[in-house]
C-alpha cells in the first residue's frame, strides 16, 4: 500500500492558529482581572518576543552582510557588484526572518505564503512589472559592467559620478552636488557614455589663430605651458596640431592627458594660460565670424508702392482722351487682311 500523501497547508488553515494564539479564551466582558492580565501578559510576551527577535535578527543580517562584503573585498570583487550582492543578501535574510517569526510565535506556516505566491504569481508579476524590470536591469548592469562606482557617466540627459547601483535604481552625484536617481530599466535602454573608463582622461582644446600669425610660435607657447604643468601626464605625449584651415582662422588642436580628478581644473587653467601667453607673444585668437545680410524686401516694396502713387496724377487723362482711347479707330476696327 502506498503511503498517504501529506496534506497541503493553506493560508486559511493557518490563520485560525494566529487568531488562536492572540485571541482570549473567552469574551473580555466575562473575564475577571486575573484572567485579563494573564491573557494580556501572554499576548504581550509573544509580541514583545517577536519584536525582540526581529530586532536581533536585523542586526545579525547586517553583520552577515558586512562579513560577506569583507570576504568579497578580499576576493577583489569590484564595489558595484559588492553593493548589489550585499543588498540582495540583506533583503533575502529579512524575508526569511519574518517567515520564521510568524511560525515561531504565531503558528503561521511559511508554506502557506509560498503557496499563495505561486498561485498569484501571474497577478504579482503584472502588478510589479516595472519593479521586476528594474531588478532584471540591475542584474544586467552588475553583470555587463558598463560603468563602476566612481565613474563619471552620461546617461540620456543626465551626467554625474556613480555613487551606488542598487536593486531598483542607480544613484549619481551631479556636478553641482545634486543627487540624481535613475531607474535601472531606464539606464539599460538609454545610451551610456562612460567618460572615465580608464585612470586618465584626455583634454582637447580647439584654438583659432589668425592667418598672419606664426604657427610654430603658437605651438611653442602652448608646449611651454604644458611642460610647466605637473598635472599633465608625459604619456601619451601631448601635442599641438593643425586641425583645420578655416575661413577666418587656423584652428589648432591642443591635446594632452591628465588623471580623472585633475581634468576640469587643468582644462580651465590651460585656457587661461594660453590666452595670456598669446597676448604676450602678439598672437591673435580668432573667433568664428559670420556676415549676415538682411534683405529689406518689405521696405523696397513699400517704396515702390509710394512711387507709383506719385506718378498716378501726372498720368491722369481727360474724359475725351479716355473715350478716344477706349473706342477703337476705324483702322483698328478693320481686320488686318482687308486694310
Could you read off the pLDDT of 263-314 as tens digits, one per residue?
Answer: 999 999 999 999 999 999 999 988 755 544 445 555 565 566 565 555 455 5
Domain with CATH 3.30.70.100 in the chain: 200-281
Residue 159: is its pLDDT beyond 70? yes
Task: Report the pLDDT value the prediction gives residue 306, as an integer from 0 to 100.
Answer: 62
The listed CATH number (3.10.580.10, 3.20.19.10, 1.10.260.40, 3.30.70.100) that belongs to domain 200-281: 3.30.70.100
The count of other CB atoms within 10 Å of the CB of residue 122 is 8
pLDDT for the residue 107:
74
pLDDT of residue 279: 93
The conformation of residue 225, written as its DSSP 8-state character, comes to: H
129-194 folds as SH3 type barrels. (2.30.30)
pLDDT > 90 fraction of the chain, expressed in percent and rounded = 32
Q: How far is residue 288's CA from residue 275's CA, in Å, rounded to a whole number?
A: 16
pLDDT, mean of residues 311-332: 51
Pair 173, 161: CB distance under 8 Å: yes
Distance CA 143, CA 32 (A): 64
Helix (H, G, I), strand (E, B) or coil at 269: helix
Nearest to 148 by CA among 209, 228, 214, 84: 84
Q: Could you tell me the pLDDT band of residue 8, with boundaries at 50, 70 and 90? A: very low
Q: What is the mean pLDDT of residues 189-215?
A: 91
Residue scoring higher pLDDT (44 or 307): 44
Lowest mean pLDDT among 5-19, 47-61, 290-304: 5-19
Cell matching residue 315: 498720368
Cell reading at 101: 517569526
The average confidence (pLDDT) of the chain is 78
State yes or no: pLDDT of 136 exceeds 80.
yes
Q: How is residue 201 written as a grid cell?
A: 582622461
Query: 11 falls in which pLDDT band (50, 70, 90)?
Result: very low
Half-sphere exposure of 296 (CA within 13 A, CB side): 5
Per the DSSP assignment, residues forming a β-bridge with 244 are 251
Instruction: Compute the C-alpha angle 106/112/114, nearest 5°.
Output: 120
pLDDT band per the 50, 70, 90 thresholds, residue 338: very low
**Residue where the block lists cell 509560498:** 114
Average pLDDT over residues 65-86: 81
Higher pLDDT, 102 or 268: 268
Residue 132, SS3 per DSSP: helix
Residue 32, classed as helix, strand or coil, is: coil
CB 140 within 8 A of CB 103: no
Rounded distance between C-alpha atoms, residue 277 and residue 120, angstroms? 73
Where, residue-wise, is CATH 2.30.30.60 in the chain?
A: 129-194
Q: Give me the mean pLDDT over the 196-207 stretch.
A: 90
Q: Which residue has the higher pLDDT, 244 or 304?
A: 244
pLDDT beyond 80 at 110: no
Amino acid at each position: 500500500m502506498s503511503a498517504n500523501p501529506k496534506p497541503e497547508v493553506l493560508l486559511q488553515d493557518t490563520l485560525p492558529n494566529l487568531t488562536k494564539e492572540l485571541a482570549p479564551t473567552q469574551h473580555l466582558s466575562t473575564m475577571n482581572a486575573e484572567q485579563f492580565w494573564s491573557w494580556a501578559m501572554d499576548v504581550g510576551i509573544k509580541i514583545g518576543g517577536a519584536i525582540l527577535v526581529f530586532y536581533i535578527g536585523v542586526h545579525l543580517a547586517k553583520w552577515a552582510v558586512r562579513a560577506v562584503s569583507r570576504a568579497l573585498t578580499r576576493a577583489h570583487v569590484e564595489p558595484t557588484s559588492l553593493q548589489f550582492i550585499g543588498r540582495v543578501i540583506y533583503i533575502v535574510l529579512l524575508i526569511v526572518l519574518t517567515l520564521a517569526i510568524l511560525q515561531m510565535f504565531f503558528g503561521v506556516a511559511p508554506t502557506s505564503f509560498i503557496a499563495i505566491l505561486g498561485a498569484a504569481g501571474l497577478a504579482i508579476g503584472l502588478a510589479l512589472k516595472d519593479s521586476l524590470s528594474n531588478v532584471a536591469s540591475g542584474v544586467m548592469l552588475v553583470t555587463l559592467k558598463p560603468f563602476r562606482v566612481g565613474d563619471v557617466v552620461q546617461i540620456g540627459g543626465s551626467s554625474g559620478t556613480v555613487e551606488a547601483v542598487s536593486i531598483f535604481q542607480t544613484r549619481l552625484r551631479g556636478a553641482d552636488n545634486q543627487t540624481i536617481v535613475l531607474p535601472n530599466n531606464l539606464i539599460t535602454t538609454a545610451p551610456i557614455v562612460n567618460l572615465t573608463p580608464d585612470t586618465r582622461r584626455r583634454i582637447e582644446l580647439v584654438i583659432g589663430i589668425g592667418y598672419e600669425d606664426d604657427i610654430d610660435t603658437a605651438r611653442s607657447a602652448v608646449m611651454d605651458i604644458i611642460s610647466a604643468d605637473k598635472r599633465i601626464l608625459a604619456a601619451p605625449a601631448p601635442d599641438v596640431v593643425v586641425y583645420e584651415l578655416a575661413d577666418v582662422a587656423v584652428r589648432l588642436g591642443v591635446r594632452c592627458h591628465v588623471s580623472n580628478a585633475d581634468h576640469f581644473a587643468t582644462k580651465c587653467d590651460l585656457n587661461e594660460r594660453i590666452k595670456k601667453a598669446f597676448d604676450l607673444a602678439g598672437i591673435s585668437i580668432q573667433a568664428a565670424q559670420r556676415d549676415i545680410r538682411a534683405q529689406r524686401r518689405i521696405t523696397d516694396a513699400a517704396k515702390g508702392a509710394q512711387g507709383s502713387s506719385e506718378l498716378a496724377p501726372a498720368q491722369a487723362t481727360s474724359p475725351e482722351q479716355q473715350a478716344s482711347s477706349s473706342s477703337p479707330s476705324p483702322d483698328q476696327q478693320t481686320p488686318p487682311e482687308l486694310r
